[in-house]
Amino acid sequence: MDTTPAGATTGERIRARSWRLRILAVLLAPMGLLGLAGQATAAPSGQPSPKQCAQVAEAALPDGAGRSVLVVDHTASVARQGVPPAVREHLSQAQQRSQVLTIIAVNGSGATPTTVRTVALDPRPGHDSPAADNARRIALDCVYEWMQGPDTAPTATGSDILSAIAAAGRQLPEEIMVNSDGVSTAGALDLAVLGYDADAKAAAAAAKNSGNLPTLTGVAVVWTGMGETDQPLTQPARNGLEALWRELLGVSGATVQIDTRTSAPAQPTPAPRAYPDPVPAPENATVTLPAGGTCHRLASSLLFAPDSSQLSAGAELELAAAARELSQHPGWVATVAGHTADYGPQAGQQALSQARAEAAADALRHLAPATTVNPVGYGSTRPRVPERPGGVYDPAAAALNRRIEVILHPAGKIPPAVCPES
């Protein structure tokens, strides 16, 4: 509306208009949102400009605001994907509460987690207008850009997820959103050492006793992308991974929600990842016995989910080599020995090892009919390595002791108590 008096000269009209624009600028400038407010009628693009995101980043943080943290993982083991639905939903809810958001990126071995930035999720708190709504939309779009931007790239090999979550906990947030595959290969939690079938309670207790758990009392943790690796995990490995993180975070004081929804990869495809982070894979071993025969040592995590005696879908593939060798030696028999880690009641260890040995023996009979297969469970009585060196429980040693040994030997000969190491 033009309020310039009738009869004003052209110069007076120009000066009056310039004065009104300066007043508007003075009103909007403290909020750093001139560029955002001016696009109230623009169609949502989903890809804000660098200038718009710079304005969002510069918006003042509200005093006394609650805080959320978003932990993102772009280490090489993670399958590429876009922003998961749960992350969008929880960021939107945090914005409605006018919270402050800190973005932290998982880093590699020996490297500090990267704090990408801290921003106000609502750049126009208390304002109800199309311009304010547009500014909020742009703010979330900028967060989506930042969480997948170059600043989140690791600077070292591996992935130390626990350290990133600990850094998030030090921000004293109400909520932590974690977007990660959960496959930690560095720091205090190394799945290449622990294995996917680690006893979750034992691993969490060991981490707590060694002071390696974060403080997350009362914090809500929402996890997306669990088990979504570049090299697909088996379902037992996924189950073990989820059980381990639930226990670790629960002992740390957090409530845990794992959301399995995923999204399509972002376009364009990000640049190749510079630092390797291979997905840990348990290794089997085949050892020739001095008195004749062969021992096939199989990691329990390749055959069973944690605390389960039900064979996984791919278990027969792991037993196939032993079955072929047994079929090729008609005079041989198989002893299938189940071994557990030394955690929990010994009666439970014995029962689990026997049930696992019987399940593996049944599968071996199916693969090699007309052969003699004898299952036996030893519980934790025949370990490969000591589990409590110095009196302290060692989850890495426990991982070595959880196994199935398929000992193929000539009939009439007594098999060895355990497979030799080499």
| pLDDT above 80: residue 41 | no
Backbone angles phi, psi at 45, to 5 degrees: -105, -25
Architecture per CATH, 32-259: 3-Layer(aba) Sandwich (3.40)
| pLDDT above 90: residue 113 | yes
Confidence (pLDDT) at 47: 85
Least confident of 142-146, 212-216, 287-291: 287-291
- The rounded mean pLDDT for the chain is 87
Confidence (pLDDT) at 173: 98
Question: Starting from the edge strand earliest in sequence, which strands make up the sheet with 373-377, in order?
Answer: 285-288, 294-299, 403-410, 332-339, 373-377
Confidence (pLDDT) at 290: 86
Mean predicted confidence (pLDDT) in 130-155: 94
Confidence (pLDDT) at 390: 82
Topology of the domain comprising 285-410: 60s Ribosomal Protein L30; Chain: A; (3.30.1330)
What's the pLDDT tens digit per position in 245-263?
999 999 999 999 999 999 8
| pLDDT above 50: residue 350 | yes
Backbone angles phi, psi at 131, to 5 degrees: -65, -40
Confidence (pLDDT) at 44: 44
Confidence (pLDDT) at 418: 83
| pLDDT above 70: residue 24 | no
Confidence (pLDDT) at 284: 85
Characterize 345-370 residue by residue with b for buried, 16 or more Cβ atoms within 10 angstroms of its Cβ, and e for exposed.
eeeebbebbbbbbbbbbebbbebbee
Question: What CA–CA distance (Å, rounded) separates 232 from 284?
Answer: 18
Q: Are 210 and 58 in contact (CB under 8 A)?
A: no
Confidence (pLDDT) at 266: 64
For residue 410, name the pLDDT band (cuts at 50, 70, 90): very high
Q: Are 375 and 338 in contact (CB under 8 A)?
A: yes
Q: Which one, of 397, 402, 393, lies nearest residue 204 by Cα?
A: 393
| pLDDT above 90: residue 393 | no
Residue ranges covered by each domain of the chain:
1-31, 32-259, 285-410
Confidence (pLDDT) at 192: 84
Confidence (pLDDT) at 364: 96
Mean predicted confidence (pLDDT) in 304-319: 88
Query: Could you tell me what percent of the chain has a pLDDT over 90?
Result: 62
Confidence (pLDDT) at 406: 96
Mean predicted confidence (pLDDT) in 140-162: 94
Fold matches, 32-259 and 285-410: no
Confidence (pLDDT) at 22: 43
For residue 386, name the pLDDT band (cuts at 50, 70, 90): very high
| pLDDT above 50: residue 19 | no
Count CB atoms within 10 A of the CB of residue 332.
Answer: 20
Q: Are 210 and 78 in contact (CB under 8 A)?
A: no
For residue 415, name the pLDDT band (cuts at 50, 70, 90): confident
- 295 burial (CB, 10 Å; 0-12 / 13-18 / 19+) is buried
Q: What is the DSSP string of 207-276?
A: HHHTT-S---TT-EEEEESTT-BSSPPPHHHHHHHHHHHHHHHHHTT-EEEEE----PPPSSPPPPPSS-
Who contacts 201 (Cβ-Cβ below 8 Å, separation ≥6)? 247, 343
Question: What CA–CA distance (Å, rounded) separates 116 from 422?
Answer: 48
Mean predicted confidence (pLDDT) in 135-141: 96
For residue 281, name the pLDDT band (cuts at 50, 70, 90): confident
